Amino acid sequence: IPRHKISSYGNKNGAFKRKFASWLYATGQSFDNIENELLLSALRVLRGDVALPTKHELENELLDLEFTVSKNKVTKAITAKKCCLTVENWVNAGGCSVTTYGVVCEGVPYFLGANTASTQEFSGELMVGEVEAVMAKEKKAEFYGIVTPTASTLSKYTREKIMKKHPRCSFFYGLL
């Protein structure tokens, strides 16, 4: 995120926009609600100079800022802690396979990311590079387990490669 984009949210009105955007994202509100005149009118009763974030800000720089803040919170929460990587496969509306990665650390689940296959064909088996890339992004976490929907999700070769880097890692299947 460019510095000038971040600094524009450093003042009081910018902080309000970030908090308001965070509420919109967390509650699943439509970005179209931001253009509702009744909402703006109600907020201006409290403060006449209030400015709501624009739809463009919500879809771009504010979304990027809040995503970065969220990822940093996850990284901080799992740093130097024993964690279990969770892997789920599902098919999106376009028929493409999506692999979702999460982590459970001290009983709390966290979302790490998702990868969408570029084609509609998916063998059901993940490549070692995909899994290692997710684990490498959270290199300060201690991975002691990986949970997948089926044993075939990770090949023997993939499990062996992961075990070389994470010798304490155990594999669990069908527990999602």
- Whether this model's pTM surpasses 0.95: no
For the chain, which residues make up each domain, given as ranges?
A: 3-75, 79-173
DSSP 8-state secondary structure symbol assigned to residue 52: P
Distance CA 16, CA 33 (A): 16
* pLDDT tens for each residue of 141-169: 999 999 998 888 888 989 999 999 899 99
pLDDT interval class at 122 (50, 70, 90): low
Q: Is 80 left (phi over 0), alpha (psi -120 to 50) or beta?
A: left
The predicted-structure confidence for 70-101, as pLDDT tens digits, reads as follows: 999 999 999 999 999 999 988 888 888 899 99
Which one is the CATH code of 79-173: 3.30.565.10, 3.30.420.10, 2.40.160.60, 2.160.10.10?
3.30.420.10
Predicted confidence band of residue 8 (pLDDT cuts 50, 70, 90): confident
Residue 119 — pLDDT band, cuts 50, 70, 90? low
